[in-house]
Structure 1
Amino acid sequence: MPGSWLTPIDSYCERLGPGFWAEPLNAATNAAFIAAAFYAFLLWRRAGARDWPSLWLIAVTFVVGTGSFLFHTFANRWSLLADVLPIAVFIYSYFLLAMRRYLSLGWAAATAATGLFLLFNLSFDRLWFSVLPGVTLNGSVGYIPAALALLAVGVACRLSQAKAAGLALLVAAGVFALSLYVRSIDEAVCAAMPAGTHFLWHMLNALVLGILMRAAIVHSSRKGPVFVQD
């Protein structure tokens, strides 16, 4: 493996050295994602075990926990990719599912909406820093589009027939906003909290993913597999 992929990354308050267990709380709390995936899998089985898009989300959530664990133990460039890529896969997969399952868009419209969300996400950093230069939120700016999407799609669902799903998305948006806050203050609280607050980001995000997966599974069981129908 090229040396550049092994370049150490020290981004969090808890890490004070290069050791594998230098972030014990940040590493251990990734078990929350595994627990969320297991919880959702049980719901999926009880709902009939035929909702393949939801099973995909469950699998991705398991990988999110695994990838984040790798990053907070190895803490280098290759493990960073193992951390961020599964998160991105979950975000765009869920957005597409929401367009189809909750808002009942056709494949073309749902794919186009997901593509527009992707473009917004990719351009958001430039927009943010053009308005608020130097305000990095401890690296959390890139997650703001996901929070805005939860809010916007949640409102759209509440205005449509998917009111229960919309409420779940709005609750998830509120939890995610709190999650972003604790992620953003990790470095700032080092003096008072040597372990930092990033571990709370994991626990709150696992709750967010659990809420979202439950909404997908429950909505499918009530309305049928609309994700695969036009």
Structure 2
Amino acid sequence: MIACLALCMAALWLTRRLAYNPPYRRLALALAGVGVGGLFLHGYDVVASQVLGLGMIALFAILAIHRLTQDFLDLSPMQGALVTAIFLPFTLSAIPLMALAKGALGSLGLAPFPILLLGMAALLQLRNTQLSGEFLLAGIGLAGALALRGLDQPLCATVPIGTHFLYILLAGGILLRLVAVAARHALAGRA
């Protein structure tokens, strides 16, 4: 729960710093919502808290896909919405898979997002864009965070505190960095 609180506080701090860039400010605010959802998800063992926690993750992913594809793949708002609509079934199917599955299988529900980031890194690399490395780092970092999430239950006997908090901190840190860097580059591209 402390990791979720840290994510929430860091995302709110970033929200304040991005006052000049409303689209990315909304992304940072959605990431703060992921932290709040995580507090409920890890604090209360009821279905509503799972829906809130996992729903906030899905909302952030959808908003991020739409914004990032528009800004860095030079798509129109309609084309960005189409890419998001194509990705939407993968994101929404992740919610029940994560809610029902424990351990490594539950982590597979989050796999579409790092895969998309790695694909965007490859497309940006083809365009010789500076940001390709940031997307590559984000994709690899999220994949590593998912590995930590998947190892949490199997390692529970060996590592009593588990690795779930590391998953939250790593994923949150990676996404915070991606939002901050993308906001800076998007603003420079609009200038």
1:63 deviates by 1.0
User: Which residue is equivalent to 1:174?
Assistant: 140
Equivalences for residues 26-41 of structure 1 within 5 A: 27-41=1-15
Q: Which residue of 2 aligns with 1:16?
A: none
Residue 91 of structure 1 contacts residue 146 of structure 1 at CA under 8 Å; is this kept in 2?
A: yes
User: Across the two proteins, how many residue pairs are aligned to each other?
Assistant: 186
Give the 3 Å change call, closer, same or farther, for CA 68–121 of structure 1 in structure 2.
Answer: closer
1:184 to 150, 163, 168: 150
1:82 corresponds to = 52
Q: Which runs of 5+ in 2 are unaligned?
A: 96-100
TM-score by length of 2: 0.88
Aligned pair in 2 of structure 1 residues 220, 160: CA closer, same or farther (>3 Å)? same
Contact 2:103–2:151 under 8 Å retained in 1 = no
- 3-state SS in 2 of match to 1:194: coil
Q: For the residues of structure 2 that align with 1:185 and 1:147, how far apart are their CA atoms?
A: 18
- The corresponding residue for 2:79 is 109
Report the equivalent of 1:55.
Answer: 25
Q: CA RMSD in A?
A: 2.3
How far apart, in 2, do the equivalents of 1:64 and 1:135 lie? 19
Structure 1 pair 180/67, CA: closer, same or farther in 2 (3 Å)? Answer: same
Kindly tell me: are residues 192 and 90 of structure 1, through their superposed partners in 2, closer, same or farther at Cα, counting changes over 3 Å? same
Quick check: which has more Rg, 1 or 2? 1
% of aligned pairs identical? 25
Q: 1:84 to 1:123 in 2, by over 3 A?
A: closer
Which of the pair is proportionally richer in helix? Answer: 2
The answer to whether the 8 Å contact 1:54/1:217 transfers is: yes
Distance 1:178 1:32 in 2: 19
| 1:140 shift after superposition | 0.7
1:141 Cα deviation from its structure 2 partner? 0.9
Counterpart residue identity of residue 197, structure 1: T
* RCO higher in structure (CA 8 A, sep ≥6): 1
Matched letter for residue 65 of structure 1: G
Shift of 1:39: 4.2
Q: What is the TM-score with the length of structure 1 in the denominator?
A: 0.74
Quick check: 1:194 aligned with 2:135? no
- Supply the distance in 2 between the matched residues of 1:119 and 1:70 (Cα, whole angstroms): 25
Q: Which residue of 2 aligns with 1:91?
A: 61
The equivalent residue for 1:222 is 188
Partner of 1:203: 169
Measured at CA, do residues 204 and 136 of structure 1 come closer, stay the same or move farther in structure 2, by a change above 3 Å? Answer: closer
Structure 1, unmatched stretches of 5+, are 1-26, 126-133, 226-230
